[in-house]
Structure 1
């Protein structure tokens, strides 16, 4: 029995914190705290530090391996006579690290708190009952050891196959058979380079939150944020298995039993490219009293995989399925809220599940390509275009136009990330293009050249005073605009695009389009990364 426990401690997960359930009495010396950090004893602490440093050095050597190999080759170290001593040295290091790991297991075995935790973990693996899961939820530990709570296979009639969910693909260029073969041979080097770029530094530039070193640096902050969600909001951590086999780390806060009108609405949050649910945009709807479901991108924190568009969409799909089939929400009770690059998975969700009630996009963009071209050399334009379209095609506007429900776009007037020329040029904010694409799709007969010019003038307003000045200058009558739209909807009840305004005079087109622009977009005078206060979070306008 003692040997079995020692093996469990040796191969067990790292324990970070004990979340004390509300009914559990406070332990002595820890009065006034709802939970406490796990305190390893001396042997476990020192050996854990050694293994942690070894892991960090391995990560550094992995990312810098091309430079290291080039240096070793130039110095003549890569040859058979010198590789043998190096392999012996590496073997010695591995044996020493194995010994350190055994000592860490011994230190854990001598700690009663860890022994209790590993016993609960094993019991939960054998018998995954709600009671055992509740006990296990009192601990924060390495998420790879957390038992799965929901899988895409549990849906009786899954919407998509194991190959992955459906994505919108770029339009293919039609050529003859001979031309296609010659073109494939001619562009083969570009395809190879694009693949290497996308799967090396390209993906890490686009999603820096997936870099292990950044996650290690942020680990104390993430653990603190997770403790707050569990101990203050009674959050429930869950592991979801998507159709590509990735494990998705999700957090659910249930407000349905509380007083207030918002608890029955579930807000699913989609984070930015360096955002985590522990410290991300979940806090905004939480402050508004909503039920909230947050999740981490593949490769972020507890989630496995890499955040390519297909994996992102697969993850979003299992999150929506989990909300419906496990948590018991209807699709028309769900609002999807996204910040920045999270607009891709959010727009995919409402495109694929059109019954979702509403979509809120904060500081998001229409298409990744203009932003990618901004940060890369001009000479790389063909390569960047090919790489984005083939491997990182975040086509938010195209997906958004396939959704029929209410939409709210929040534009940061001092945004320095999704502008193509700089935060001082508000017209280079790609949120403008997202709004224009949406209006042009939904109301094509109203979007004439003159009305487009008026909307751009309204978008160029740098403050609320200037915005109101443009609005008043065109004598926009909100009541009249709404009455026209309501009359059209009552008579036809047709999906977008609408032909409303087909026979209307030009000055009325302008007024109507300005009115709709202000309904679909709200300005927030701040930078890209400022947390959105609850005062700026609104349910989208619905006719």
Structure 2
């Protein structure tokens, strides 16, 4: 038995922090924050983890510099017929690392680690609520975390082999000659596949880079400890239809008795955001909140390509409904920056209560063309083929929408195409371009009558049972201007800050309803 426990300690996950159980009292006997503490390894285990950590960092660095490294190895060994030394070096390094890992036997003498590994093994054998509650008192390697929910648990789900359905650009039909010519022209685009899946993806989602995550690890651990110890957050592992494991955090405010606690806000982070330190902190004042990390971020596995993103969002919503007990009409989607792509959810789940898009964009392609040479024909093909974050096309939703406009971001709504004509767009751009003190003067300068605008929209809503976009027409030029400015002010909310400034809780509001 002792040998088995020793082996589990050697092969077990890295323990980072121990959270005080909600049932445990504080050392001073009072109730309040369940303050935890960082796990303190013994000296031998500490040095072992340090060596393995450096080895992992060097492996990540060699991965990103692999083209240069392979060229060097080719010239030094392949060309000079010295293949044997290479295998010897690699074998020696692996044996040394394995020997270092065996030095973790010091965990066997640490009572905290032995207690943790016992709880982990017991939870894997018997996945009861009581055992899960004990396991949630520990922060450790998420790959060892037992499964809490899988998309297969929802028997009514019918998914394609690729996963959930996305709106994709339709392929153009061509003749035989044109197809050959097109194949020749797009030959470099097939080569760019490698760049899109390596360099391009990491530029678009820098939070998926292992070295960045290692640098942010202390900050992420501190943020996770705050969510668990101050807000009684519950960490869960979900498995999406593509097999990716999704790391989530749930804060339940329903038992607090507040009205907003019955509403669940699902938070979708930016391209370098994690639920531990991201926009999940904004709606925590009163709302129930469910945060999740993109595939490849934090404890989540996989890579953050559009299809994987949609699959992850799908299982998060299924988890909220079937495991947490929320109705779709109780769920608000709050997405920041690139997280706006997961507005796909409101297209597939139109019963959702509302969506809040903070500093998001309509389409990735114009942003990509700004930072890449316009003469590159590969940019458009790469984005459309592999990273088609076409947020505006995915936003086929009839419910309330709120756009939070950072003062340096440009967001345009197209839910009323007959109003947002050239003249409507001109006055809205004039209003958007004005500084904060002058916005009201622009609005009043066009003599916008709010009551009249509401009556026009309500009349249109009552007379016609149509879906968005609304073709509100038969209007004078003055009426079109008024409605354009009225809708812009209702759908957009200014926040005087830069793109990466966290949104304060006071700025998080439900969208306007007609």
TM-score, normalising length from structure 1?
A: 0.91
Residue 7 (structure 2) aligns with? 7
Residue 301 (structure 1) aligns with? 298
Task: Give 1:25 deviation, angstroms.
Answer: 4.0
Summarize the alignment of residues 149-298 of structure 1 with structure 2, pairs less than 5 Å apart.
149-180=148-179, 182-287=180-285, 289-298=286-295
How many Å separate the matches in 2 of 1:447 and 1:322? Answer: 38
Among 373, 383, 387, the residue aligned to 1:388:
383
2:343 is aligned with 1:372:
no
Cα deviation digits, residues 251-302 of structure 1 (max 9, x gap): 0000001132210000000000000000000111002x10000000000010
Residue 420 (structure 1) aligns with? none
Among 303, 310, 330, the residue aligned to 2:327:
330
Contact conserved, 1:22 with 1:34, CA < 8 A, in 2? no
How many Å separate the matches in 2 of 1:203 and 1:97? Answer: 30
Task: Give 1:33 deviation, angstroms.
Answer: 6.7
Residue 443 (structure 2) aligns with? 471
2:16 is aligned with 1:16:
yes
Residue 102 (structure 1) aligns with? 102
Residue 60 (structure 2) aligns with? 59
Structure 1: 5+ residue stretches without partners? 416-428
Cα deviation digits, residues 449-499 of structure 1 (max 9, x gap): 2222111211211x2222111111110000110011112212223221223
Contact conserved, 2:362 with 2:392, CA < 8 A, in 1? yes
Summarize the alignment of residues 412-491 of structure 1 with structure 2, pairs less than 5 Å apart.
412-413=406-407, 415=408, 429-431=409-411, 435-436=412-413, 438=414, 442-461=415-434, 463-491=435-463
Cα deviation digits, residues 67-97 of structure 1 (max 9, x gap): 12223444x3334642212221221221111
How many Å separate the matches in 2 of 1:23 and 1:496? Answer: 51
Task: Give 1:168 deviation, angstroms.
Answer: 1.0
Deviates more, 1:315-324 or 1:187-196: 187-196
Structure 2: 5+ residue stretches without partners? none
Q: Considering only aligned residues, what root-mean-square deviation do their CA atoms show, in Å?
A: 1.6
How many Å separate the matches in 2 of 1:248 and 1:109? Answer: 31
Contact conserved, 1:194 with 1:386, CA < 8 A, in 2? no
Residue 127 (structure 1) aligns with? 126
Task: Give 1:370 deviation, angstroms.
Answer: 1.0
Residue 115 (structure 1) aligns with? 114
2:356 is aligned with 1:360:
yes
Give the ranges of 4+ consecutive aligned residues of structure 1 lying more than 6 Å apart after TM superposition: none
2:344 is aligned with 1:348:
yes
Q: Any idea what SS the aligned residue of 1:248 has?
A: strand
Summarize the alignment of residues 24-35 of structure 1 with structure 2, pairs less than 5 Å apart.
24-26=24-26, 34-35=35-36
2:494 is aligned with 1:532:
no
Residue 85 (structure 2) aligns with? 85
